[in-house]
Amino acid sequence: MQKPKVLLFDLGGVIVRWVGLDALALLTGLEREEVIERFATSDVFKAYEIGTCSDDEFADELITRFNLDTPREAAKSLWNSWVQECYSHTKETLEALRPHYILACLSNTNALHWEHLKTHIDVNLYFDHSYASHLINSAKPDPQSYMIPLKDMDVSAEHVWFFDDTVENVQAAESVGLTSFHVDRNVGVVPKLKELDLII
């Protein structure tokens, strides 16, 4: 397999821990799949992810959708608390890769999480390019969400390897020509990079 020019990473479940689905399941007594379904069927959640609704609108929807007994600002804090530290050895690995590859991130995220993420990793220090769904106004698995980084970086899909913890996003990336790999969200991307001989 020909080595890539660009390594493109999802963030939550790949670079940093994202525990929101499991946390909401525990908090509400819902099954994880039901939590996913409630997010997927909410127009507000979808709008927030592509930057077309406010933090307050999102927080109100979170409270309503999951019957949370908490005020708006507390709901925002709770939401941020589910974005957690980087997986072990991830920062050191990115530093080791950066002299050899163009590093980029493509994340389905939102204004609250994007700001909170800075407490765990400064994307500008570890990535040459960063693409957040709420800033590019497009979210995975929409094909456009992959095309925007390719166009901005002026690189063809064949030269990019993509890493994501969601199978649907991996399959969508493959459909537009990216060589794509599914990451186990329990351990993050480092084991996959070792498996592919990108790091020792």
CA pair distance 197, 200, nearest whole angstrom: 7
CATH number at residue 98: 3.40.50.1000
C-beta neighbour count of 39 within 10 angstroms: 19
One domain for residues 98 and 181: yes
Transcribe 130-168 into DSSP letters.
Answer: EEEHHHHT--TTSHHHHHHHHHHHT--GGGEEEEES-HH
Domain co-membership, 165 together with 151: yes
Same domain, 120 and 187: yes
- Do residues 43 and 120 share a domain? no
Domain count, the chain: 2
CATH code, domain carrying 56: 1.10.150
- The answer to whether residue 200 is domain-embedded is no
Asked if residue 186 and residue 99 are part of one domain, the reply reads yes
**What is the chain's pLDDT, residue by residue, as a tens digit (200 residues)?**
788 999 999 999 999 999 999 999 999 999 999 999 999 999 999 999 999 999 999 999 999 999 999 999 999 999 999 999 999 999 999 999 999 999 999 999 999 999 999 999 999 999 999 999 999 999 999 999 999 999 999 999 999 999 999 999 999 999 999 999 999 999 999 999 999 999 87
Among residues 81, 105, 120, the one where a domain terminates is 81
> Which residue range(s) make up the domain with 54?
20-81
Are 90 and 178 within one domain? yes
Shared-domain flag, residues 133 and 190: yes
Q: Does residue 1 form part of some domain?
A: no
Specify whether 103 is located in the same domain as 186: yes
Whether the pTM exceeds 0.85: the reply is yes
